[in-house]
Amino acid sequence: MTEKEKIREIVLPGEIIGNTKTEKSGHGTFIRDQNIISKFLGIPKKNKDYISVIPLSGVYTPKRHDKIIGIVISVEKSGWIVNTNSPWKGFLSLSEGVRDFIDIRKVSLKRFFDVGDIIYTEIVDVRNGDIQLSMKSPSSRKLEDGVLVKITPSKVPRVIGKEGSMINSIKEKTKTIIRVGQNGVIWLTGQDIEKAIDAIKMIDEKSHIFGLTDKINIFLSDLNDENR
Amino acid sequence: MMKTDEKLIINGKRLDGRKPMDIREIEMKVGVIPNANGSAYVRFGKTTAFAAVYGPRELIPKHLQEPDKAILRCYYNMAPFSVSDRKRPGPDRRAVEISKVTKLAIEPALFLEEFPETTIDVYIDIIQADGSTRVTGINAASLALADAGIPMRDLIVALSGGKIDDTLIIDLCGKEDNYSEADIPIAFLPNTKEITLLQMDGRITPQEVKDTIRNILKAGEQVYKKQKEALKNRYK
Amino acid sequence: MKEYILNLLEKNKRIDNRKLDEFRKIEIQKDFIQRAEGSARVKFGSTDVIVGVKLEISEPFPDTPDSGILRTDAEFTPIASEDFFPGPPNENAIELARIVDRGIRESETIDLEKLCLEKGEKVWGVCIDIRIINHDGNLIDASALAALIALTTTKIPKIKDDEIIREEYSGKLPLKHKPITISIGKIGGKFIIDPCLQEENLLDSILTVSVREDGKICAMQKRKNSLKVEEINKIIDLAVNKSKELRKLI
């Protein structure tokens, strides 16, 4: 990494990045006097007519149908309260959490999910501060053991890569199993967890430079040489 | 306002050698507090501030929550060693007022409606004071908010103006502040030129107030430029 | 996460790739605050602490009428952690200030007898203020080191007509000794130095030891659960040994 890293264009809050005469205002922007203006310190992106800004930092904002990794923080009478790594707690109701019929007078909900349990879950509804979770989708499940790392939520797509290319390459070369929550929480287990974490952290920190994919591939192949 | 026989401007130069419309040396760094969602370090001459943003995060107790937007909380505090005679730790009445005007200076720049029921906490810590601490703190807060990824209409630029020895000046240092005929801290949104902080104490003419506001809007461009550089340097 | 950290320690590894007895990268900046009579900023990894020393004309204690006064305060400013909030110092901040104070006071770091201005009436008060900028564990060792370095930079202001002339100095603060404070944590049967916050939260126990340059121990504080005698003996030896590394940085 001796040669100077080329950086993508960075825009600032309040910066004019387009005009409504020729473009449409996308995510991370707002309109004032026909100008399209960035709301964030971030990287501008143009997709057809839409101009948007991907923030370089910030908390996770829950969206419907997002798959996230949450941690159970309390067990209630009718469900579970879950930390969603966002400013809002999530609620997993009994009916969304467990398939079978449960008689709550006889069975403790702790049997299914207890405080501290890590779950891969889907957001099924968001209304103001109310976030409803569900375990009904096939990929949802409790994640046993493993390690959690947190990254900037807006950088999740970079970690996953085009059609999963980045994450698959990390999994393969470090012999790990990885689940990436849209909320920026990543769960890992397997052989070379430490190296996989290093690669993920590198993507988080360097998401704004060009040629990131190559850089990560070099990092991962160095690792294979070391192991030989 | 104290009086001094000492001249504060000699041959058109201020005590530290500046001309009336010169700003002190400015240093700005973004992302200096890893624990915070966003943070900044800002120094104007000796006056040095840290700002950290935590949030948007859950607001407890619940009754403080707003159903349709985040609340913004600002705390301005000074280190005991930041001033000549040691200051007792913790906020005094002055700090509480500055916290309030700081919040009002920042709020118009934020899209608080995107985070209902939460709080955005902005903490400003003055570790060295040599005049113009509240505007230094606001500049640091502006950078910390952008660094935290809080959606913003604009950055917030702040600068002080005043009058000494019958001359209008900007960016008062401590001694000038103590003996000035007027002290006017101002914050504004650089793109729309909306003024979000305006305080004044002293005795000057309406025309001098108007001139000072104009001077600050003009000189504030330099501060705005420094803020933009600091934010871009975060990712170099 | 807990198991991951413990598993690594089992292999004598740590989450930030350090050895068990290795400090994080230590950065020191002297004279950081020109308005203070002495100051230092010390970083242990991302733990970041600023200490300022102010001198004030004070009244001596009746039992030591010709000795200067030392006081140490710490503020856990809310900028430093999502778990710190505005308000008066909590028990952790007070414990931190008292441990740092004890190391300096009991080692006789400052030659307080040279700080008398007028016997029974006026002496110099040395005020050490510790300010946490970012909390990533081991605040005590970082603060104690910052306090000691700040004291080594401290100058005594001039006095004219009973008033302090700030930023004009008559000499350096007289120091007799230099204590180094080291905290050693016990975790899963291993002993580690300079725990980061994630490790600190998992410690079974921790003992803080202040060691003077002549090898004398001048303060100790056990801060969590319990330790066996042989563990304490081991920690003391390790602390004395490791203090030499930090001493080189002063």
Closest-CA distance of chain C to residue B121, Å? 9
Chain A CA closest to residue B225: A12
> Which part of chain A is CATH 2.40.50.140?
67-143
Provide the percentage of residues in chain A whose pLDDT is more than 90. 74
pLDDT single digits (tens) A25-55: 999 999 999 999 999 999 999 998 999 999 9
Q: How would DSSP label each residue in A170-219? A: HHHHHTEEEEE-TTSEEEEEES-HHHHHHHHHHHHHHTTBTTHHHHHHHH
Q: Quick check: B36 and C79 CB within 8 A? A: yes
Probe site for chain A from C1, C3, C4, C201 (most A CB atoms < 10 A): C4
Closest-CA distance of chain B to residue C197, Å? 11
Probe site for chain C from A85, A143, A147 (most C CB atoms < 10 A): A147
Q: Quick check: B84 and C166 CB within 8 A? A: yes
- Which CATH architecture is the domain A16-55 placed in? Beta Barrel (2.40)
Say what the ipTM of the complex is. 0.93
**If DSSP codes are grouped into helix, strand and coil, which group holds residue B33?**
coil
Stretch A123-151: mean pLDDT: 92
Chain A CA closest to residue B189: A14
Q: How far apart are CA B143 and CA B137, in angstroms?
A: 10
Q: Which of C49, C41, C43 is nearest to C26 (CA)?
A: C43
User: Which pair of structure tokens corresponds to residue B180?
Assistant: 């000035």
CATH fold for domain B12-233: Ribosomal Protein S5; domain 2 (3.30.230)
**Residues of A whose CB is below 8 A from B38:** 57
**If DSSP codes are grouped into helix, strand and coil, which group holds residue C113?**
helix
Helices and strands (H and E) in chain B: how many: 4, 12
Q: Quick check: B55 and A37 CB within 8 A? A: no
Probe site for chain B from C25, C32, C35 (most B CB atoms < 10 A): C35
pLDDT single digits (tens) A155-201: 999 999 999 999 999 999 999 999 999 999 999 999 999 899 999 99
Domain that holds residue C59: 2-247
Tell me the residues of A at the B interface, defined by beta carbons under 8 Å apart: 7, 10, 12-14, 16, 28, 30, 32, 37, 39-42, 55-59, 61, 87-89, 128-129, 154, 208
Q: Quick check: C1 and A147 CB within 8 A? A: yes
**Residues of B whose CB is below 8 A from C135:** 35
DSSP assigned state of B30 = E
Closest-CA distance of chain A to residue B217, Å? 17
Nearest-by-Cβ selection for A87 from B68, B118, B147: B118
User: Which pair of structure tokens corresponds to residue A163?
Assistant: 């059609």
Q: Quick check: C1 and A193 CB within 8 A? A: no
Q: Quick check: A30 and B153 CB within 8 A? A: yes
Residues C103, C210 contacting (CB under 8 angstroms): yes
Q: Quick check: A145 and C3 CB within 8 A? A: yes
Instruction: Calculate the alpha carbon distances from A111 to A83, A139, B137 in Å.
Output: 19, 20, 51
| R_g of chain B, CA atoms, integer Å | 18
- Which CATH architecture is the domain A147-227 placed in? 2-Layer Sandwich (3.30)
pLDDT(A2) > 50:
no
Query: Taking the mean position of all CA atoms in its chain, how far away is CA C123?
Result: 24
Closest-CA distance of chain C to residue A217, Å? 22
Give the Cβ contact number of residue C25 at 10 Å. Answer: 10
Residues forming beta bridges with residue B38, ordered by sequence position? B53
Size of interface A-C (CB pairs under 8 A): 5
pLDDT in tens, chain B (236 residues): 556 678 899 999 999 999 999 999 999 999 999 999 999 999 999 999 999 999 999 998 999 999 999 999 999 999 999 999 999 998 899 999 999 999 999 999 999 999 999 999 999 999 999 999 999 999 999 999 999 999 999 999 999 999 999 999 999 999 999 999 999 999 999 999 999 999 999 999 999 999 999 999 999 999 999 999 999 999 98
Closest-CA distance of chain A to residue C6, Å? 12
Write down the CATH superfamily of domain A67-143. Answer: Nucleic acid-binding proteins (2.40.50.140)
Q: What is the pTM of this model?
A: 0.94
> Which part of chain A is CATH 2.40.50.100?
16-55
Q: Does a cis peptide bond (omega within 30 degrees of 0) precede residue B116? A: no
Count how many domains chain C has: 1
Q: How far apart are CA B95 and CA B183, in angstroms?
A: 17
What is the CATH number for C24?
A: 3.30.230.70
Q: How far apart are CA A90 and CA A74, in angstroms?
A: 11
Interface of A with C in 174-203 (CB under 8 A): 193
Probe site for chain C from A59, A194, A197 (most C CB atoms < 10 A): A194
Chain A CA closest to residue B235: A208
**Residues of A whose CB is below 8 A from B192:** 32
pLDDT in tens, chain C (250 residues): 788 899 889 999 999 989 999 999 999 999 989 999 999 999 999 999 999 999 999 999 999 999 999 999 999 999 999 999 999 999 999 999 999 999 999 999 999 999 999 999 999 999 999 999 999 999 999 999 999 999 999 999 999 988 999 889 999 999 999 999 999 999 989 999 999 999 999 999 999 999 999 999 999 999 999 999 999 999 999 999 999 999 999 8
